[in-house]
Amino acid sequence: MWLGIDDTDSRKGMCTTYLAGDIIECLNNLGMDIIGMPRLVRLNPNIPWKTRGNGAIAIQFGKGSGKRKEIGYVNGKRYCYEKKVSDRGDAEKIIEEVDRIVRKRAMMESENTNPGLVILKKKPPYWLYKKAVRSIVGIEEVKSILDELDALYIPYKNGRGLIGASAATAWHPYDRTYEIITYRNGGRRWVDEESVKEMDKRFKKTFDNYDYVNHHVQITPNSPCPVMYGIRGDDEKELPEAMKSVVSEKIKRWLIFETNQGTDEHLQKKKIGDVKPYESVIVTGKVCSEPRTIEGGHVIFSLCDGEEIECAAYEPTKNFRALVRKLRKGDKITVYGGVRDEPRTINIEKMKIHSLAEIYEKKENPICKICGKHMKSMGKGKGYRCVKCGTTAKENDAVFEKVDRDIKTGFYEVPVVARRHLSKPLKRFKPSQGKY
Ligand code: ATP
């Protein structure tokens, strides 16, 4: 059986992944085995009503068999099994117990917290996940899928959490990464910066731990949630060791999740004319208005493929903006990013520069063929005239020099400090993928 849960936290506290620990403990107490790893599934990052990272949880349980693997510590060691033998368990009893945990832990008083809890024997169709990670899903649509599958579900308040809870159970890890999340012991959140850098260098398959350009520890969240830190990586086996190497305040519990973080599954290739708000897109075109910096330090330019759209490197993307400022009209690029509605803008996560336009700068006015002297401009766009003999010349008769672009073709990404959960870091691209 699958359990899905979402939308239990608020900006003031809690974290749905923390609740996952309580649920795993509860399932074990009810005699259930956890099958496969608990899943942390990120959904559409552009949903306006998300709390932070739009993450939901899916856990498979029943009677397990095969290899047993340690997945965490929550009031004792926790394990998962490789395979499912049967759907052992009384779903009604389980949802009743988990409901008690949700009521106790969820931040119900917050207007934006609308939890959803589902228990299903059969996973919802994969397209539900695909739609939820890429666009907007309606709650009625989800309820009809749940009813068709004979699922047990509890919508709390407006019940919007059912969308994320169901979509998380529908995920199939065609591509996957892992995250080990540690939780505080009620104390402050503190990690030793040097130990994070050392961990980052030592455990090669982890990613997004530390921003060396902006000197920022990325593994700790900024919200008042119970998380101490989370380490992401491609190899789950590295993560417990990586955790042990980080020096921090006391940790009360930890869990490893299988996740869709760093997979780019939110992105879809589009023509500019087909781009819709709240989607995340991959768009190729030519720069058609040069970058300008607006109030707040955001850098904006336009991209054209017949239609035109504005692209932005917002202030939080820090040093990435310096690169974007070097773009010029005619450069052929592909941008990867989330689409903002008003004004309609692509918020750049990654950028591939395919080719750079050749740019020439005027160095000297043309020289008069008769007098051998520099001619004078007759005004912008009006050409030149020799003051001595009156000979005229065209604008492009001036002496031009090719400008050194100080930028190279290739793939660029925003710094770690501005990285979105779903964005695939360039570190995860295979060399053969570097050129798409
Ligand atoms: P955290 O990451 O800290 O757990 P959060 O950012 O996940 O918090 P939620 O509190 O879960 O934010 O809020 C997201 C809400 O949006 C949930 O109710 C979820 O069901 C809903 N939701 C997620 N994806 C979609 C979608 N594609 N269409 C419509 N609603 C969605």
Ligand 1 geometric centre to CA of 263 (Å): 18
10 Å Cβ neighbour count for 332? 16
pLDDT attached to residue 433: 64
**DSSP assigned state of 395:** G
Which residue among 17, 39, 43 has the greatest number of ligand 1 atoms within 8 angstroms of its CB, and so is best to mutate? 43
368 Rama sector, left if φ>0, alpha if ψ -120 to 50, beta otherwise? beta
Residue nearest to atom 10 of ligand 1 (CA): 7
Residue pointed to by tokens 């520069």: 353
Secondary structure E strands in 209-307: 210-211, 216-217, 227-233, 251-259, 267-269, 280-293, 299-304
Give the closest residue to 151 by CA, choosing from 104, 106, 91, 235: 91
pLDDT tens by residue, 111-164: 889 999 999 999 999 999 999 999 999 999 999 999 999 999 999 999 999 999
- The pTM of this model reads 0.94
Sign of the Cα pseudo-torsion (196, 201, 203, 205, in order): positive
Q: Is 308 left (phi over 0), alpha (psi -120 to 50) or beta?
A: beta
pLDDT tens digits, one per residue of 47-67: 988 878 899 999 999 999 999
Alpha carbon distance, N-terminus to C-terminus of the chain? 39
CA of 22 to the centre of ligand 1 (A): 20
Nearest to 98 by CA among 22, 18, 170, 15: 22
Q: Whose CA is nearest to atom 13 of ligand 1?
A: 50
Mean pLDDT of 165-187: 96
Q: Which domains does the chain have, with CATH numbers?
A: 2-170 (3.30.70.2200), 177-259 (3.30.70), 267-358+405-428 (2.40.50.1010), 360-402 (no CATH)
User: Does the pLDDT value for residue 24 go beyond 60?
Assistant: yes
Task: Tell me the pLDDT of the chain averaged across its residues.
Answer: 95
Report the pocket of ligand 1 as residue ranges, CB < 6 Å. 6-7, 9, 15-16, 43-44, 47, 49-55, 114, 116, 132, 136-137, 160-161, 163-164
